[in-house]
Structure 1
């Protein structure tokens, strides 16, 4: 079982000091993919970095500007291009003069319009500076380093805060829920590798964009990976009963999950299937998709 952390104390628009170097303002965009809303982080004092500005909401922009009053924003850092993370970056940069750092949104075939799998894409996201793994961002009393973590999306990147041995984990690891992996941009093989990469770095705290921090990092990430392996085993067990489609197996595999999330769950199963097909453990006729018939190889 994953030891989820779901308790959180906050008010929308309020700026909370959550650690010696970190403040957080939560946007009023709660939902099945965002939990209580997007947590925008401010690192440092005087000259600061802002991580994941969030959705393009004027109320959230005004709350951030109030929190930043009298300070200089030197960096705006974006973990990935989903619409609950990146759209406010440009309006915030316009007001503050800060530079936006991130990895540009990929151009991929759209998911079927009847499949709601995330809060939506910010397809036009273009940072001012393209991030590479290990890139360093500094201010008075704080140092952030980019940790590329593809899997949830191909352009996902986390940010390590050296002074607190903490990681702003975006949607790569969340305390309140598992992470959705949505092909073709999301990749399950990349996700497993990124989990191991983060686990090996030995952080004391993870600060997800949604929800509360994770304090017991190594066992939490291990449980996260074990959950994925268990889901993979369930998929293989379903296939052992005979050929089947993803859509047919999801209601059983995710019986305990909010039905609103079943479309997203189906995409995660597809991500598992694509990895299993790549490994030669599963086969399907034609192109692998939600309606394809799969069988054990």
Structure 2
């Protein structure tokens, strides 16, 4: 590597590693994920020479080098545990090589996500209300489904009382996150946003993009976005019975095919919520298929 290459590499690491608080570091790991993002955030929680790593999303050498650099900047703590918010590939693909480095070689995961992991990975199941100590820092686990069934939010309480919530793919500082079938549940998602606000966190670490510092207003904005889309779905059914795909084509602008398919799955999640609230109903017996036709109840 030339001196120029080393300088560019150092600048890249500086841009991708951010200290958010006394104990929490954000590492923007380059991965293939949903646009507009080109990275997944891994997090280090560090205190008293010990570290927990959340969501190592890539096994590529560049990503592992970035993790090593973050550990070095954090004082070279002993890596004691790997935790994942949920099992989607862009959050777990780096778990395998990282487990080999940990003092506790098992990935902490909710039971509803555990069976989605490679069978050779040992698991340490965590559930709502469980806690872990990292030095004087306390990690508490909230079960916050909506994006995926066993999604966890890790609530970090520092010795001075500061609270940071690491909320994975439930939140984003800009734009929206994907909530769609089969993993997504729109009603649970909206409830989970309220639960994150209720933690009193002054900062929320997102799965992608920068941290959220105006927590209550930003999460209210995200909920309002979903409720506005819900109103559009209901409005599309005002005059006729439609499938999820037909609704999508009415309420979204023209989309590239891969993005359109994701939008259809998101509209399906809205329809499942509305059906559960007896606000829409199916007009056929094609339960569980994307070809079902819906009308207002």
Scaled by the length of structure 1, the TM-score of the pair is 0.84
| 5+ long unaligned stretches in structure 2 | 1-10
State the partner residue of 2:61. 58
CA distances 1:125-178 after superposition (whole Å, capped 9, x unpaired): 955211111111111232111111011000100101111311001001111231
Structure 2 matches for 1:106-185, cutoff 5 A?
106=113, 128-163=123-158, 164-185=162-183
- Whole-Å separation in 1 of the counterparts to 2:29 and 2:192: 27
1:266 aligns with 2:264: yes
Q: CA deviation at 1:192?
A: 1.8
Cα distance in 2 between the residues matched to 1:222 and 1:258: 29
* Superposed displacement of residue 215, structure 1: 0.8
Q: What residue number does 1:290 align with?
A: 290
In the alignment, the residues of structure 2 paired with residue 225 and residue 125 of structure 1 have an alpha-carbon distance, to the nearest angstrom, of 38
Which residue of the partner structure matches residue 5 of structure 1?
Answer: none
Deviations 1:52-78 (A, max 9, x none): 111222321232134325320112110
Q: In the alignment, is the contact (CA less than 8 A) between 2:26 and 2:44 conserved in 1?
A: yes
**Alpha-carbon deviations, 1:94-118, whole Å to 9, x = none?**
123334211246599xxxxxxxxxx
SS of equivalent to 1:295: strand
- Contact preservation (8 Å) 1:205, 1:214: yes
Q: Which residue of 1 aligns with 2:37?
A: 35
Larger helix percent: 2
Could you say which structure has the greater relative contact order, defined with CA pairs below 8 angstroms and 6 or more residues apart? 1
In structure 1, the residue matched to 2:238 is 240
Task: Supply the distance in 2 between the matched residues of 1:127 and 1:194 (Cα, whole angstroms).
Answer: 28
The answer for the alignment partner of 1:90 in structure 2 is 96
Structure 1 residues not aligned, in runs of 5+: 1-9, 109-120
Q: Please give the TM-score of this superposition, normalised by the length of structure 2.
A: 0.84
Say which one has the larger Rg: 2
Aligned-pair distance for 1:24?
A: 2.3
CA 1:31/1:75 → structure 2, altered by over 3 Å: closer, same or farther? Answer: closer
Give the conservation status (yes or no) of the 8 Å contact 1:82–1:122.
no
Change (3 A) 1:107 1:58: same
SS at match of 1:23: strand
Judge conservation of contact 1:12–1:26 (CA < 8 Å) in 2: no
Alignment check: 8 A CA contact 1:81 1:105 kept: no
